[in-house]
Structure 1
C-alpha cells in the first residue's frame, strides 16, 4: 500500500473517530439531567380561562464534591389553549441549595426573598404562545451536609397572582459518595448526608422513604436538588 493511500485512510479514520466522539459527547451532555419532571407542582391562583402554565425540573443533577457546584435547567411551559399573558418565573433556593445565577434573569433583593430562602432570581418570561416553553440555565451550589430545596413559582408580571408553583421539591441522595468526584442527586429525594467523622447516614429530610436497592442502584447514576415557596393559602387542587 502506498504511503499516500495509507495517509488518506488514516486521516479518514481519524476524522470518523473524532466525529463519533463529538456526537457521543454532545449526547452525554444533553441527556445528563434526564427528562424534565413536574414533580411537586401544584396550581395556585385561578388563571384566565384557557391559560395553563406549568414548570419542569431535571429528574437528576450532579454536585461536584470539591466545589459544591451544580447546574439545573428550569423550564416554564404553556399547556393551555390560550396565550399565557405576561408572566414571570421565580427560581428560589432553600437550605443547602443556593442559586448563584440564572442566565437572563435578575437577582432578587434580600428584602424581597421569601421567608426561609437564601437566594432567588426573577425571570421575565413575557407572553408564552400555546404549546411553547422557555428554559433557563441555573447555576447553583449544594451543601451536601444539608438538605437542599428549590422552588419555581409562575406569577403574573406584577407578582400579584401565582398561577403555578413547583415546590417544595428536595434534591438529594440516599447513598452519599464523599470520596467520588461528584454526587448524583434525585428530584423528590430527601438528602441523607454522611455524618462527620463516620459513615453513618443521619436522616435530615422531611420524609423517611428509602429507594429500593435495585431502583437506587440504577437511578443514582445521575440525580437532582429542589425548593420551597411559602404561600399563606391552600393551593387549588387540579381535577
Structure 2
C-alpha cells in the first residue's frame, strides 16, 4: 500500500511539472477531424512491444486542407488494447515534406536539431500511463503545401528511453485529383499527393528513418523532457521508488 501511495505521488508530480511547463499552442482556431473511422494504416509494433500491452495509434481516413492558408487539422489517437496498463509512454507526431506539424495540444516541440532525418517538424506527448482498454486523442494543427507530397509519422516509445513499442508511418496524406480553384482540398490517408501547378521532376524518395525494418527508435520521450528541462525530476522520482 505504501508503494502505491508513493507511485501515485510521483506520478502526480510528473504530470504537474509537464502541465506547468508545456507551451500554450494556438489550436483554438482549428476544428480537429474526428477519426471515425480511424485507421492504423502503415502501423506496426516495434521491437520493444510487450505481449500484454498492445499500443497502437490511429489517424483519420480523411482530412481537409484550406487551399488559401494551407491549414489543416488532424486527430491523432493512441490506445492500449492490451490486458495491462502501459506505464509511462511517449507519443510523437512528426511531419515530412509538405506536411508540417505546427502544434499538438498538451505536447512539447521537438528541437530542430533532434528531429529525425528527413522530417521538418515534430511534437512529443508524454503520457504517465495508459490504462488497459483506454485511449487518448490529441488535436494536431498542421499545414500542408499542396504543391508537394506530405507524410506524417506517429512513433510511440516506452518511458523516457528509446525503446520503440509502435510506429505508424511515415504514411502519406494526399489526393490524386487536385482542386486548386476550390476553397479546400480533401486528402485521404495512404494516398500519395499529386501536387498542384506545373509538372515537376519526380522527387527523391523521402529518407526512411530508423532501422531497415521501418522502425523509428528516436528516443523522443527523453527529448520531450529535455525540451522542458525536467529530466532530473523524472529520473529522481523513478530512482526513489
TM-score for both structures, normalised by structure 2? 0.71
Task: After TM superposition, give the deviation of residue 194 of structure 1 in Å.
Answer: 2.6
1:69·1:142 contact (CA, 8 Å) conserved in 2? yes
Q: 1:60 aligns with which of 41, 62, 74?
A: 62
Question: CA–CA distance in 1 between the matches of 2:70 and 2:182?
Answer: 13
Distance 1:191 1:160 in 2: 31
Question: Aligned in 2, Cα 1:228/1:149: closer, same or farther, shift over 3 Å?
Answer: farther
Pairing 1:7-26 to 2, within 5 Å after superposition: none
State the distance in 1 between where 2:75 and 2:60 align: 6
TM-score normalised by L of structure 1: 0.71
User: Could you tell me which of 202, 205, 210 is aligned with 1:231?
Assistant: 210
Q: Tell me the equivalent position of 1:10.
A: none
Provide Cα deviations, 1:60-88, integer angstroms capped at 9, x if missing partner. Answer: 00000000000000000001111111101
Q: Do the aligned residues in 2 keep the contact of 1:42 with 1:235 (CA within 8 Å)?
A: no
Q: Write the deviation string for residues 184-206 of structure 1: whole angstroms up to 9, x where unpaired.
A: 0000000011333xxx7987697
The residue correspondences of 1:77-156 to structure 2 (distance < 5 A) are 77-156=79-158
2:43 paired with 1:41 = yes
Where 2:128 maps in the other structure, the secondary structure is: strand
In 1, Cα distance between equivalents of 2:58 and 2:113 = 27
Q: CA deviation at 1:107?
A: 0.2
Q: Post-superposition, which runs of at least 4 consecutive aligned residues in structure 1 deviate over 2 A? A: 29-34, 46-49, 200-206, 233-236
Judged with a 3 Å threshold, the aligned counterparts in structure 2 of structure 1 residues 105 and 55 are, in CA distance, closer, same or farther, namely: same
Cα distance change of structure 1 residues 83 and 33 upon mapping to structure 2, 3 Å threshold: closer
Matched position secondary structure for 1:179: coil
* Equivalent of residue 179 in structure 1, options 161, 178, 181: 181
Superposed displacement of residue 228, structure 1:
8.4
- Structure 2 unaligned residues grouped into runs of 5+: 1-30, 216-241
Provide the alpha-carbon RMSD of the alignment. Answer: 2.4
Q: Unpaired segments of 5 or more residues in structure 1?
A: 1-28, 207-226
Of residues 120-129 and 43-52 in structure 1, the stretch that sits farther from structure 2 once superposed is 43-52
1:168, 1:228 within 8 Å by CA — same for their partners in 2?
no
Does the CA-based 8 Å contact 2:57-2:76 persist in structure 1?
yes
CA pair 175-105 structure 1, distance change in 2 beyond 3 A: same
Aligned with 2:78 (options 68, 73, 76): 76
- Say if 1:83 and 1:228 are closer, same or farther in 2 by CA, change over 3 A: farther
Judged with a 3 Å threshold, the aligned counterparts in structure 2 of structure 1 residues 65 and 31 are, in CA distance, closer, same or farther, namely closer
